[in-house]
Amino acid sequence: MDLSQAPSNAAAVELVSLTKNYGDGKPAVDAINLRIASGSYCCLLGPSGCGKSTTLRMIAGHESVTSGDVLLENRNITDLPAAARGTAMMFQSFALFPHMSALDNVAFSLKMKGVDTATRHQAAGQLLERVSMSHLAQRKPGELSGGQQQRVALARALITEPKVLLLDEPLSALDPFLRIQMRAELRRWQKELKLTFIHVTHSQEEAMALADTMVVMNHGTIEQMGSPHEIYNQPRSEFVARFMGGRNVLAWCGALITVRADHMQLHAMTDRVAPGSQSLTARITDIEYQGTHVLVGLQAQAAAPQATLSELTVMVPENRFMAQPFALGQQAQVAWSVDAAHHFTSASVSTV
């Protein structure tokens, strides 16, 4: 057996009962356990204040740990200074030095280490080539577009040859169009470099687009971890279902169930609902045209013992809506097949 080859399920980063208490009562990060596979793109996802950045900063060594451990490739790095960990961080604003050229920005940490000018410029030049920025090496950040700045920031983070790249909301300063372009680039770089990326975001759309593994956090704990497909289709708790969105949560026969908005159908009151389907009556309160589909908001009318039952959204494909339009205030039947209903396995209740 070749021991130099790490097994495919090797953890690049392992968090063991990791806790941060800022001393104001409830911990910001509360004894989380997590294994992040080597070479994977991991997104930490959750609402503002749930402890994502604190977790990332403890991995980076920018925040002290109250208790628990951070392991990188089985090495305990909990008490090592940031520069000695084998991690690198890329920030939201990219934090480039405005008065330095792209080349000098990339070479900066080598300069701090006392590496001579020729050697560090050569290393920085190679990295800029890697991110297709060689031709702009002498430009200052103010003379670069947002996307170009992101590439320089990436090259600067990579010059220390990290094993893990940590990214805290790296795309949130960009306009929506550029954000979508840049996330495709991040994804491509991660696959090309075969590095482990840990990316913090509050956007479920961004996390689903990027992640091999998503970690959904809430109040300093991990609610669920899995592939985007698993998390979207099998949310463990009401919290995850509501946070991911695109779903309805309703009380049905004494239990909470969740059904995807695009797995529900709208029928006129006179239509017969297909056998094997479940249905309820609701009044249309909102109609929102979205291009490929129409979002129809409804207020459930019958059998509504709980508030969670009362509001629903049904995503109707555009052509179907146009063939059978509904109007505001109209009553309709909302139907879904039994197979489309998903039950929660964890009781965690939404606070978002």
The least distance separating ligand ADP from the CB of residue 61, rounded to whole angstroms, comes to: 15
Of 214, 255, 220, 205, which is closest to residue 58 (Cα–Cα)? 220
Give the shortest CB-205-to-Mg ion separation in angstroms: 17
Interface contacts to ligand ADP, rule CB under 6 A: 22, 28, 46, 48-54
38, 40, 53, 149: which one binds Mg ion (CB under 5 A): 53
Structure tokens at 351: 């606070």
- The strands making up 255-260's β-sheet, listed across from edge to edge, are 247-252, 255-260, 342-343
Choose the one of Mg ion, ligand ADP, none that binds residue 61, judging by a C-beta under 5 to 8 angstroms depending on kind.
none
Report yes or no: 256 and 249 within 8 Å, Cβ to Cβ: yes
Nearer to ligand ADP, 59 or 264 (CB): 59
Which one of ligand ADP, Mg ion, none is in contact with 48 (Cβ closer than 5 to 8 A by kind)?
ligand ADP
Tell me the backbone φ, ψ of residue 164, rounded to 5 degrees: -135, 130
Q: Which amino acid is at 329?
A: G
Residue 235 contacts which entry, ligand ADP, Mg ion, none (Cβ below 5-8 A, type-dependent): none
Helix and strand counts by DSSP (H, E) for the chain: 10, 18
The Cα diameter of the chain in Å comes to 81
From the list Mg ion, ligand ADP, none, partner contacted by residue 49 (C-beta under 5 to 8 A by kind): ligand ADP
CB of 278 vs ligand ADP, minimal distance in Å: 37
Nearest to 38 by CA among 79, 74, 91: 74
Q: Which is nearer to ligand ADP, 215 or 282 (CB)?
A: 215
Binding mask 322-341 for Mg ion (x = CB under 5 A): --------------------
Residues 6+ apart with CB under 8 A from 143: none
Interface residue list for Mg ion (CB under 5 A): 53
